[in-house]
Amino acid sequence: MTRGSLLVDHIGELVTNDGRDGDPLGVRRDAALLIEDGQVAWTGPARHAPAADRRIDAGGAAVLPGFVDSHAHLVFAGDRAAEFAARMAGERYTGGGIRTTVGATRAASDDDLRATVGRLRAEMLRQGTTTVEIKSGYGLNVTDEARSLRIAAEFTDDTTFLGAHVVPAEYADRPDDYVGLVCGPMLAAAAPYARWIDVFCERGAFDADHARAILACGQAAGLGVRLHANQLGPGPGVQLGVELGAASVDHCTHLTDADVDALAGSDTVATLLPGAEFSTRSPYPDARRLLDAGVTVALATDCNPGSSYTSSMPFCVALAVREMRMTPAEAVWAATAGGAAALRRTDVGRLTPGARADLIILDAPSHLHLAYRPGVPLIRQVLHNGVPR
């Protein structure tokens, strides 16, 4: 018996994501899980459970890995509820509202921004998210991009420099100069706080040439590549991402057969963000088509004040099942192991020995209930690094 060990016992259904026996979720029934030093030390049948210092009785409930939300824009000020209301009354989403949030974010104090990230991070944790990626992208000048990332880095290791979110108003008639700023002084100020670089590659934001130039600078500075691609219409983003070895291309709402083929032949993850289609009343991406082609799919919230102001991975799982033709098992995998793959992380998204002890105890006997009982608070308890939260 190790000091400080914790046994989660009487688990009705344990989702390990170990992929054994052709079951991606690696479900074990009547199981137990031992935690030592913040990591999973052992899993197995409850009747073989080792002794431990402390014990949590799961009471026959389902236990699964904490959600890995690999795409979130949490550093911002203000909200855009009126823009949402206008959309629900028939207006189209164009991304034009990003500049509204940029104005509010630049005017906010560090403490205000930190409080917003903290509030949303806590909201996520209550809903089972134990790993989150956080992007900049509402500063769009050297000072405000760097401080956005500095604040994001207080909450996660997976910080992403999104200076190329849109061209800010003051550069509207000289986008080449803005790309020069992003690749030069802005990247230099952001890189110490960032693990990733991202570009919104879309009509009205950045074209393929600008996106390629910016991502190449980021790679040269040691950052990994991810992309917002093919959200509002077909475009070059997905294939550019594959060409550059991106960890993930995100949105993937409008794909050609060539885009799907490119993804299927790569190790780039397709991250789907159904909260964005929900909140912009747009057609959902076709997850079934990607899965059937052999593409690795992740689900994330895209939490941001414009296109998807949800922090809830269970909501995204339910949307993915109902609207995107994913099975509940595929959606749960995509929200856990898929998110980890999108962040190139092997320490999270699974509950096997050596993994970080990030787990959810559901108020339900099975992972199926996440989609079967949409909108119901089913997260009974969350353990993060082995610590009950």
- Partner from ligand NIG, Fe ion, none binding residue 171, C-beta < 5-8 Å depending on class: none
Q: Cα separations (Å) of 4 from 39, 350, 387?
A: 11, 22, 11
**Which of 139, 386 has the CB closer to ligand NIG?**
139
**Position 97 contacts ligand NIG (CB under 6 A):** yes
Shortest Cβ 306–ligand NIG spacing (Å): 2
Size of the site for ligand NIG (CB under 6 A): 14
E strand or H helix at 137: none
CB 241 within 8 A of CB 225: yes
CB 299 within 8 A of CB 316: yes
Shortest Cβ 76–ligand NIG spacing (Å): 8
Shortest Cβ 87–ligand NIG spacing (Å): 11
Q: Positive or negative CA dihedral for 209, 214, 220, 223?
A: negative
Locate 102 and state its tokens.
């940029």
**Which of 43, 105 has the CB closer to ligand NIG?**
105
**Rounded CA separation 82/96 (Å):** 14
**Rounded CA separation 116/123 (Å):** 11
**Position 136 contacts ligand NIG (CB under 6 A):** no
Out of 228, 350, 367, 369, the only residue in the binding site for ligand NIG (CB under 6 A) is: 228
List the one residue out of 123, 124, 97, 69 whose CA is nearest residue 307. 97
Select the span of 1-9, 26-34, 92-100, 108-116 touching ligand NIG (CB under 6 A).
92-100
Out of 16, 127, 231, 282, the only residue in the binding site for ligand NIG (CB under 6 A) is: 231
Locate 44 and state its tokens.
């197995």
- Partner from ligand NIG, Fe ion, none binding residue 227, C-beta < 5-8 Å depending on class: none
CB 269 within 8 A of CB 298: yes
CB burial of 141-180 (b: ≥16 within 10 Å; e: otherwise) equals: bbebbbbbbbbbbebbebbbbbbbbbbbeebeeeeeebbe
Out of 12, 65, 66, 95, the only residue in the binding site for ligand NIG (CB under 6 A) is: 95
**Which of 95, 328 has the CB closer to ligand NIG?**
95
Locate 318 and state its tokens.
């339910």
- Partner from ligand NIG, Fe ion, none binding residue 101, C-beta < 5-8 Å depending on class: ligand NIG
Cα 348 off chain centre by: 13
**Which of 275, 386 has the CB closer to ligand NIG?**
275
Shortest Cβ 102–ligand NIG spacing (Å): 9
**Position 302 contacts ligand NIG (CB under 6 A):** yes
> Which backbone phi and psi does 183 adopt, to 5 degrees?
-75, -25
Rule CB under 6 A: which residues touch ligand NIG? 95, 97-98, 101, 200, 228, 231, 276, 302, 304-308
